[in-house]
Each structure stands twice: as structure tokens, then as C-alpha cells.
Amino acid sequence: MIKAVLFDLDGTLADTAPDLGGAVNILLEQEGRPQKTLEILRPYTSQGVRGLLKAGFGIDATHSEYDDLAQRFLDIYIQRLCLETRLFDGIPELLDRLEAMDLGWGIVTNKRMRFTDPLVELLQLSPRTNCVVSGDTVAEAKPSPLPILHACRLLECRPESTLYVGDDRRDIVAGNAAGCITVAVSYGYLGDSGPLHTWGADLIIDHPAELADYLVKQAGQR
């Protein structure tokens, strides 16, 4: 029944926390503030600039300095997109398995296109992935289901035959709203969205190999 797999990017396919956290710490240093450990910053990575400025500076979008700090953070980050970013252990093998099973796969992220496209290329995923949907590809970002539905159309696959895999509650909310089978990954960043088992995912995995095993099992039941 499963025809395709869609992945969130940050915290699901790739460990981007070192480079994003590094950008926050450069900004903190510029502002004369103490740096934060990666352990503190890491859980907020999937929430992008909003989450990282919250973790680093304790501010949200209503703060008078937010827009300036956000722009400066993004300017720093784009210069260090893939210095330390790597695919999570087990992801290369999982992608190999998907392709061997003739399952299409794609990326649906809230990262904006100006960051997503070069990062996907630097990770050497561009020749392999069947679609990339960024946070500004369609009118709304996750937790809206629109980006996932757009990816399903690009893959010519019905949502109910598609897995959506993510590490943040909004990933699972978006995937469920789109009508996909949803998978939450415990190895990701998880944010401040409450316990993983409360997100409403159809499946929780601790390692990408578990998803490969699940797909093989599902294929054997056809």
C-alpha cells in the first residue's frame, strides 16, 4: 500500500544543529552575550530561526529586536550551511532501501528555499530525491497540510499511500491533516512539543533502520 516516503529535513534526514547552533552563537558573541551549549540549542533546531532565537536570546517575534536579529542570524547561517551538517546515521542506508524497493521519496521542510536547495545539493541528495518542497514553495508551511499535499501531487501518489516522517509535533499534525501515514522519530530534535507519544503519530521509531524494516514488512503483506 505504501508508494512513497516524505521526510522533514532538519532533525529527520540531516543533523543540522551544529551549523544552526553555531550561527546562533556567532550572533550571541556579536551582541556581547554568553554563548549557549549545543545541548541547550539542539531541541529548538527544527523550529528554525523562531525557535533558535527563543533558545539563544529568550525572545519571540513580538520583541522589538526580533526582525533585525532574525535577518542577521540567517545571513550568518547561509555562510555555514554544511560545515558540520551530516545525514543521521542510518539515513543513507534507508534511502538505498527505498530506492531498491522502487519507492519514491521526497523532502518537505519549513526551511526556506534559499537554504533548502543548496543544502540538499551539498548533502548530495539532489540527484536522488523525487521532490523538494520548502517552507515558501506553497502558500502555507507546516503544520498546514498544504506542503505535504503538494509533494504528493509531485510524486503522483495518494496521501493515504504516503508516509510522512518528522521530528516535531507540527510534522505529525501536518501529515495527519494531509491524510498520510505519520512517523515520528525519537532521534530528532523534538522541540518543546510535549511527549512524543502524545503527538498522534501512527509509528514511532528510534533509528532509520526501523523504518526500513517496517516498509519491508508492509511490502511482504501485499
Catalytic residues: 8, 10
Q: Which helix (H) or strand (E) holds 5?
A: strand 4-7
Tell me, rounded to whole angstroms, the distance of Cα 81 from its chain centroid.
14
Dihedral sign for Cα 27, 82, 116, 160, please: negative
Using the CB atoms, write b or e for 55-81: b if 16+ within 10 Å.
Answer: bbbeeeeeeeebeebbebbeebbeeeb
DSSP string, 12-73: TTEE-HHHHHHHHHHHHHHTT-----HHHHGGGGGGHHHHHHHHHHS--TTSTTHHHHHHHH
